[in-house]
Amino acid sequence: GRTVMLAVDHGYFLGPTTKLESPRKTIAPLIPNADSLMLTRGVLRTSVDANVDTPIVLRISGGTSILKELSNEGITTSIEEAVRLNACAVALSIFVGAEYEKQTLMGLASVVDRAQEYSMPVLAVTAVGKEMARDARYLGLCCRIAAELGANFVKSYYCEDFKKVVEGCPVPIVIAGGKKIEEFEALDMSYKAVQEGAAGVDMGRNIWQSDHPVAMIKAVRAVVHKNATPKEAFDLFNSLKQGKEA
């Protein structure tokens, strides 16, 4: 009932993000430790071998860049294309409280309608605008709206009183890692999230921007799948980064 999703979709609005400049190089060593890969069709086509059988969560929203209003997203990839690409779920962002809130929420509702025809699960990514507080009240609002509109699971951020966000959301929540922080802090955040009811993580930068990404994803797995404490997971990270199998 838990998952470690590897988020490598950042280029869709950030371009060649640090340490994801060459997606194939970043993704390849992490694949064996990811329960799914979250990416765009461009990166799937060019940077993941066709014989990889790790489930794909296909990002199907975008159309804007870091240089413009982020919430002005639309649907970039059809459900039929997601089926052709053998995706196991589709993901799109919603921007609650932002300028294009309605456009993104109606986009979610419409994607859910179309995805239902193929029993394709939909992940709503509760994207937070620069000026919005990442607190339980706001994130709880985003997650609940996503679930009400039919999302099968929701991606959010960890926050104080995260339990309240979970309680108010009738579908599973996975957390994003956010900007790169120290490895121990990222493991601690993941631990608190799953202990407070998250179904796992959909993490990117805190894995592949680490100097030891394979050790880090293994440590995150220990937290998510084995309930390792932050200290246990950090010890595992340290021993793996020195090349020792723990």
Which residue ranges make up the site for ligand 5RP (CB under 6 A)? 7, 9-10, 38, 93, 125, 127, 176-178, 202-206
d(CA 8, CA 178): 12
> Least CB distance from residue 206 to ligand 5RP, whole Å?
6
Which position has the token pair 């609940």?
Answer: 144
Closest CB 243 distance from ligand 5RP, rounded Å? 26
Q: Which is nearer to ligand 5RP, 24 or 167 (CB)?
A: 24
**Which helix (H) or strand (E) segment is 124 a member of?**
strand 122-126
Q: Quick count: other Cβ atoms within 10 Å of Cβ 179?
A: 8
Nearest-angstrom CA–CA distance, 218 and 4: 10
**Residue 92 Cα to chain centre, angstroms:** 10
Shortest distance (Å) from residue 5 CB to ligand 5RP = 9
Shortest Cβ 117–ligand 5RP spacing (Å): 25
Q: Compare residues 66 and 246 and give the one whose CB is closer to ligand 5RP.
A: 66
Nearer to ligand 5RP, 176 or 193 (CB): 176
Residue 68 is a catalytic residue: no
Identity of the residue, 3 or 93, whose beta carbon is nearer to ligand 5RP in the bound complex: 93
* Catalytic pick among 19, 68, 155, 226: 155
Q: What span, in angstroms and rounded, lies between the C-alpha atoms of 162 and 137?
A: 9
Alpha helices (H) in the chain, listed in sequence order: 11-14, 23-27, 41-47, 79-84, 101-116, 136-148, 162-167, 183-195, 205-208, 213-226, 230-241
Any idea which residues carry the catalytic annotation? 155
